[in-house]
């Protein structure tokens, strides 16, 4: 801040402008350090790890486990689990959240949120194993477990975001002759987007971390490096797995943040 | 689209035995309201909070469905129309403007034209026209977002949005409640001059009786259950409150409030000798002495008043000089209320104010006596001398 800013505003107009800029700054944009620093530090760590990997002396098991091709495949599997689960969560939770804020279903909202809450409160490892016993091992069982686990933040944020839209704006829209559907699409959802997107980012981060457990039911992912590392007492494999999972989670979190910024409607500050 | 003319573009509104009863409530929110709102007038709904004035307003555009009764706009029953279509033909202005924060000024105003399927060019032209009408420079404000506007500007855009599709009827719900008093006064004046041009039927809810007196062609005073306490022109309500309730509601100083009803243009203006800057002082002095004036009004080349001069000062002058900076001349627009005029006169050492018309041109002067006469007249009009009973 410059010295000029310490002077009192010259007039009422200035004071109002100052107040307006204060009000608009309530939405703190993620700092540049976070937006650039986070991916940058992840890249640095990954690069350091890659250099170590190409120079370290590894025994045959370690070499097989840390084979570049295998690592690539595991990463793709992990991403696939994350993306598919998140897409399904979105497809279910957002429409469900919208439905639960409409007058007809509004009363059911607390019950559904309670159920979703139970999904998140249950330990994922237990959930995954139980579902696997019931539905068999494999990719789709893991997806189901991840979805149950991650549905709550998106559902809750969709409901909260829509409920948070100023009622007078909704009434203004209706009073001007917009249909219910068009009020939802053109006023309620755009205004709720920041809150909904925050829920989606939370879900993404939950899923990318939890997908590590998919390996227990043979659904792949980077988790297999960690379990193998533990089972065979191969620390290079174990630590590599941990580093890769953490890096991936941080990158996904960053991507979610970028998405939040991009989708935030202009005019909301 | 009708051109901007001074003919009435509004239509009348009729409420017949309208009732609104909410389930589970013993008393009806609105008990049988019947009312005729003439075309092209501003009708103000006032009353204590919870009296059902907002409910009554919202039943006109069916944001609230009446339990029973009939509402007609321009002879057409609203209950028989599709509610969205109905509302697109009724302007709706709410407190603070209630602009959609994620849309620009243009997008906000263009919403209803968009719903009505106007083409892009017509909409864009209409938006600019409306921004001009409410006193905002289109080039500057067109693409701003609401948070980049002051409260008063947001409210102006709110009014423009209500007028967007040129609806015959406009409903306003406490339109100027959220702005500071000075801005509110300016917005009220602007609404009046817009209405002078457009002649819409405007129904406006307010809790501020002074606002009702200032804006309303008629005032509807409601008590609990939306029962009509009095429905009349403001002059009549001020002069003859129907009952104790109305008298209490009108509050003290009813006579003073009448001052806000009369405009300066309604009283006969006094004439003073005028002299243009540069005219020969001797000529002006002779004219002033002939008219028995002890001071003259100095005008500039465009006949705008710029200064007072005492006739005795003219004696020492050759030509009428340009005014010094500290002139005590006060001017007032002919559309100002007598209230404003009195206020100005009290601060002027000359006990009178110079009245200006279009482009600030000199029209005449108004003094205390003229205002007093006018007050006396309005008082007599609405309080006929009681006949003496033998």
Please write down the HEC assignment for all residues of chain A: CCHHHHCCCCCHHHHHHHHHHHHHCCCCCCCHHHHHHHHHHHHHHHHHHHHHHHHCCCCHHHHHHCCHHHHHHHHHHHHHHHHHHHHHHHHHHHHHHHHHHCCCCHHHHHHHHHHHHHHHHCCHHHHHHHHHHHHCCCHHHHHHHHHHHHHHHHHHHHHHHHHCCCHHHHHHHHHCCCCHHHHHHHHHHHHHHHHHHHHHHHHHHHHHHHHHHHHHHCCCCCHHHHHHHHHCCCHHHHHHHHHHHHHHHHHHHHHHHHHHHHHCCCCCC
A 8-47: CB under 8 A from B: 13, 16, 20, 23-24
Phi, psi (rounded to 5 degrees) for A8? -65, 150
Q: Is the pLDDT of residue A4 over 60?
A: no
B187, B132 contact by CB (below 8 A): no
Specify the DSSP class assigned to residue B12.
Answer: -
Residues in B touching A269 (Cβ below 8 Å): 147
Q: What does the pLDDT average to over B46-51?
A: 87
Identify whether the C-beta of residue B284 lies closer than 8 Å to the C-beta of residue B320.
yes
CA-CA-CA-CA dihedral for A207, A210, A216, A222, to nearest 10: 80
For B380, the token pair is 């007599």
Residue of A175, A193, A263 to mutate when probing chain B, most B C-beta within 10 A: A175
At B320 the pLDDT is: 82
Q: What is the pLDDT of residue A29?
A: 67
**Counting one residue from A and one from B, how many pairs have CB atoms under 8 Å apart?**
70
Residue A87, token pair as written in the block: 């897409």
Interchain contact, B84 vs A178, CB within 8 Å? yes
**Number of other CB atoms surrounding residue A223 within 10 Å:** 24
pLDDT for B220: 94
- Order of strands across the sheet with B295-299? B274-276, B295-299, B305-310
Please answer whether residues B149 and A26 qualify as being in contact, where contact means their C-beta atoms are separated by less than 8 angstroms. Answer: no
Q: Homologous superfamily of B274-374 in CATH?
A: CBS-domain (3.10.580.10)
Token pair 């919870």: residue: B50
> What integer pLDDT is reported at residue A112 of this predicted model?
85
The C-alpha angle A257, A259, A261, rounded to 5 degrees, equals 75
Angle between helix axes A68-101 and A235-263 (nearest 10 degrees) is: 40
- Note the ipTM here: 0.75
Q: Which of B98, B104, B145 sits opposite A172 (nearest CB)?
A: B98
pTM: 0.73
**A241 or B180, which is more confident:** A241
Confidence of residue A84 (pLDDT cuts 50, 70, 90): very high
Torsion angle in degrees (nearest 10) through CA of B273, B274, B278, B279: -40
Report the range of poorest mean pLDDT among A7-16, B14-23, B134-143, B361-370: A7-16
Residue in B closest to A169 by C-alpha:
B98
- Confidence category of residue B390, pLDDT binned at 50, 70, 90: very low
Average pLDDT, chain A: 83
Structure confidence by residue, pLDDT tens digits, A101-147:
998 888 888 888 888 888 778 788 888 888 888 988 888 888 888 89
A 117-156 near B (Cβ less than 8 A): none
- Distance (Å, rounded) from C-alpha B154 to C-alpha B105? 9
Indicate if the pLDDT at residue B201 is higher than 90: yes
Dihedral of CA A127/A129/A130/A131: which sign? positive
Q: Kindly report, residue by residue over A181-240, the tens digit of the pLDDT.
A: 999 999 999 999 999 999 999 999 999 988 888 888 878 888 888 888 888 888 888 888
Pick from B102, B150, B171: which is nearest to A267 by CB?
B102
Domain with CATH 3.40.50.300 in chain B: 13-251
- What is the pLDDT, as a whole number, of residue A204? 92
Cα(B232)–Cα(B286) distance, rounded to whole angstroms? 51
For residues A14 and A17, what is the distance between their CA atoms, to the nearest angstrom? Answer: 5
Q: How much of chain B, in percent, has pLDDT values that exceed 90?
A: 34
Taking 70 as the threshold, does the pLDDT of residue A15 lie above it?
Answer: no
Q: What domains can you pick out in chain A, each with its CATH number?
A: 34-263 (1.10.3720.10)
Comparing B319 with A88, the larger pLDDT belongs to A88
Spell out the residues 6+ positions from residue B124 whose beta carbon is closer than 8 angstroms to its own.
B106, B110
CA dihedral sign, ordered B142, B146, B151, B155 = positive
Helix (H) or strand (E) holding B274: strand B274-276
Going by pLDDT thresholds of 50, 70 and 90, the confidence category of residue B58 is very high
Nearest to B184 by CA among B155, B161, B205: B155
Contact flag A176-B146 (C-beta cutoff 8 Å): no
Tell me the β-bridge partners of B171. Answer: B92, B203
At CB < 8 Å, which residues of chain B contact A? 58, 61, 63, 84-90, 92, 94-95, 98, 100-104, 111-112, 115, 145-148, 150-151, 161, 171
- pLDDT, residue B383, reads 60
Tell whether A168 lies on the interface with B, counting CB pairs under 8 A: yes
A51/B132 Cα distance (integer angstroms):
66
Model pLDDT, residue B162: 92
For the cut 50, the answer to whether the pLDDT of residue B5 exceeds it is: no
Q: How distant is the Cα of B157 from the closest Cα of chain A, in angstroms?
A: 14
What is the pLDDT confidence band of residue A155, given thresholds at 50, 70 and 90?
Answer: very high
List chain A residues with CB under 8 Å of B114: none
Looking at chain B, the domain(s) classified CATH 3.10.580.10 span: 274-374
Shortest Cα distance, chain A CAs vs residue B204, angstroms: 15
Mutate to test the interface with B, among A267, A268, A269 (most CBs of B within 10 A): A267
Residues B149-177: tens digit of each pLDDT: 988 899 999 999 999 988 999 999 998 88
Q: What is the pLDDT of residue B63?
A: 92
Beta-carbon separation of A267 and B101 below 8 A: yes
Tell me which of A96-100, A206-210, B363-367 is least confident. B363-367
**Using an 8 Å Cβ cutoff, are B32 and B69 in contact?**
yes
Over residues B310-338, the mean pLDDT reads 77
B69, pLDDT greater than 50: yes
The arrangement of strands across the sheet holding B201-205 comes to: B90-94, B169-173, B201-205, B42-46, B218-223, B227-232
With an 8 Å Cβ cutoff, are A175 and B101 in contact?
no
Question: Is the CB of residue A91 less than 8 Å from the CB of residue A264?
Answer: no
Sort out which chain B residues have CB atoms less than 8 A from A265's CB and list them: 102
Return the CATH superfamily for domain B13-251. P-loop containing nucleotide triphosphate hydrolases (3.40.50.300)
Cβ contact (<8 Å) for A20 and B148?
yes
Comparing A24 with B359, the larger pLDDT belongs to B359
Nearest to A38 by CA among A206, A248, A196, A263: A248
Residue with tokens 């991916």, as numbered in its chain: A39
CA distance A179 to A177: 6
């Amino acid at each position: 801040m410059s010295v000029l800013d310490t002077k009192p505003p010259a007039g009422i107009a200035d004071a109002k402008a100052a107040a307006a800029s204060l009000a608009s700054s309530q939405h703190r944009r993620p700092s540049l350090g976070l937006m650039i620093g986070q991916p940058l530090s992840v890249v640095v760590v990954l690069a350091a790890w890659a250099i170590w990997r190409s120079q370290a002396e590894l025994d045959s098991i370690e070499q097989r486990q840390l084979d570049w091709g295998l690592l690539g495949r595991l990463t793709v599997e992990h991403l696939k689990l994350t993306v598919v689960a998140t897409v399904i969560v979105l497809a279910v939770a957002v429409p469900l959240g919208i439905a639960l804020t409409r007058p007809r279903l509004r009363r059911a909202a607390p019950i559904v949120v309670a159920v979703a809450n139970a999904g998140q409160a249950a330990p994922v490892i237990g959930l995954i194993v139980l579902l696997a016993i019931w539905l068999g091992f494999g990719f789709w069982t893991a997806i189901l477990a991840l979805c149950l686990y991650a549905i709550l933040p998106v559902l809750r944020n969709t409901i909260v975001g829509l409920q948070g839209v100023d009622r007078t704006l909704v009434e203004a829209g209706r009073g001007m002759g917009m249909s219910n559907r068009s009020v939802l699409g053109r006023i309620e959802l755009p205004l709720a987007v920041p809150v909904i997107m925050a829920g989606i980012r939370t879900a993404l981060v939950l899923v990318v971390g939890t997908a590590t457990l998919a390996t227990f039911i043979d659904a792949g992912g980077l988790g297999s490096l960690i379990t193998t590392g533990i089972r065979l007492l191969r620390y290079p494999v174990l630590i590599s797995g941990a580093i890769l999972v953490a890096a991936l989670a941080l990158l996904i979190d960053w991507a979610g943040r970028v998405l939040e910024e991009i989708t935030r409607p202009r005019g909301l500050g | 689209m009708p051109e901007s003319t001074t003919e009435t573009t509004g239509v009348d509104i009729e409420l017949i035995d309208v009732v609104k009863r909410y389930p589970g409530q013993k008393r009806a929110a609105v008990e049988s309201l019947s009312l005729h709102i003439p075309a092209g007038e501003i009708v103000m709904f006032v009353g204590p909070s919870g009296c059902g004035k907002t409910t009554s307003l919202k039943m006109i555009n069916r944001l609230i469905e009446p339990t029973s009764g009939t509402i007609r706009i321009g002879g057409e029953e609203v209950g028989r129309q599709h509610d969205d279509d109905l509302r697109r033909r009724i302007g709706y202005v709410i407190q603070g403007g209630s602009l959609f924060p994620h849309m620009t000024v243009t997008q906000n105003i263009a919403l209803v034209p968009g719903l009505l399927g106007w083409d892009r060019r017509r909409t864009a032209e209409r938006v600019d026209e409306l921004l001009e009408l409410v006193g905002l420079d289109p080039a500057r404000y067109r693409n701003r977002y609401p948070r980049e506007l002051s409260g008063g500007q947001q409210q102006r855009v709110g009014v423009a949005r209500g007028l967007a599709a040129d609806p015959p009827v406009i409903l306003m719900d406490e339109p100027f409640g959220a702005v500071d008093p000075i801005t509110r006064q300016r917005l009220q004046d602007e609404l009046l001059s817009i209405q002078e041009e457009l002649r819409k039927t405007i129904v406006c809810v307010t809790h501020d009786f002074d606002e009702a007196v200032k804006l309303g062609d008629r005032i509807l005073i409601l008590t609990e259950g939306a029962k009509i306490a009095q429905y009349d022109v403001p002059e009549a309500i001020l002069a003859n409150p129907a009952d104790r309730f109305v008298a209490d509601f009108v509050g003290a100083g009813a006579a003073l409030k009448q001052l806000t009803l009369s405009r300066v243009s309604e009283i006969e203006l006094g004439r003073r000798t005028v002299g243009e800057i540069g005219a020969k002082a001797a000529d002006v002095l002779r004219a002033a002495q002939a008219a028995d004036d002890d001071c003259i009004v100095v005008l500039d080349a465009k006949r705008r008043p710029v200064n007072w001069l005492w006739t005795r000062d003219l004696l020492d002058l050759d030509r009428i000089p340009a005014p010094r900076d500290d002139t005590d001349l006060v001017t007032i627009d002919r559309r100002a209320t007598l209230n404003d005029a009195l206020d100005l006169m009290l601060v002027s050492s000359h006990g009178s104010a110079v009245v200006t018309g279009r482009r600030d041109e000199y029209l005449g002067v108004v003094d205390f006596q003229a205002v007093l006469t006018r007050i006396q007249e309005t008082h007599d009009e609405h309080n006929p001398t009681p006949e003496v009973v033998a």
